[in-house]
Structure 1
Amino acid sequence: MTSTPSDPLPRALEAAGEPPLRPLPPVVAELLRSLGAPARLAAHLRAVHDVAVELVEWVGGRYPDLAVDRDAVLFGAATHDVGKTVHPEELSGPGSAHEAAGRDLLLEHGFAPGLARFAATHASWDGPGVGVEDLLVSTADKVWKDKRVPDLEDRLVRALAAAAGREPWEEYLALDDVLTRLGEDAAHRLAFQASFPVDR
Structure 2
Amino acid sequence: MALTDPPFRPVPPAASALLREAGAPPRLGAHLRLVHDVAFSLTAWLETACPAAPFDRDAVLFGAATHDIGKVRHVEELSEPGTRHEPAGEQMLLTAGVEPRLARFAGTHGRWHSERAGLEDHLVSLADKVWKGKRQEDLEQLVVERIALLNGQAPWEAFLALDDELTTLAAGADGRLAFQNAYRIGV
TM bin (shorter chain): over 0.9
Name structure 1 gaps, 5 residues minimum.
1-10
Aligned match of 1:163: 150
Structure having the higher Rg: 1
Whole-Å Cα distance in 2 between the matches of residues 33 and 21 of structure 1?
18
Counterpart AA for 1:14: T
Please state if 1:13 is matched with 2:3.
yes
Whole-Å Cα distance in 2 between the matches of residues 125 and 56 of structure 1?
17
Whole-Å Cα distance in 2 between the matches of residues 130 and 158 of structure 1?
14
Whole-Å Cα distance in 1 between the matches of residues 4 and 140 of structure 2?
31
Aligned match of 1:142: 129
Please state if 1:71 is matched with 2:43.
no
**% identity of equivalent residues:** 55
Counterpart mapping for 1:1-200 below 5 A = 11-16=1-6, 20-200=7-187
Whole-Å Cα distance in 2 between the matches of residues 156 and 63 of structure 1?
11
Counterpart AA for 1:15: D
Report the count of equivalent residues: 187
Counterpart AA for 1:190: L
Q: CA RMSD in A?
A: 0.7
Name structure 2 gaps, 5 residues minimum.
none
TM-score (norm 2): 0.98
Counterpart AA for 1:67: P
Q: Which runs of 4+ in 1 moved over 4 A?
A: none
Counterpart AA for 2:48: G
Deviations 1:41-93 (A, max 9, x none): 00000000000000110010111121110011001100010000011111111
Per the TM alignment, residue 129 of structure 1 is displaced from its structure 2 partner at its CA by 3.3
Deviations 1:116-151 (A, max 9, x none): 000000001011132110110000000000100111
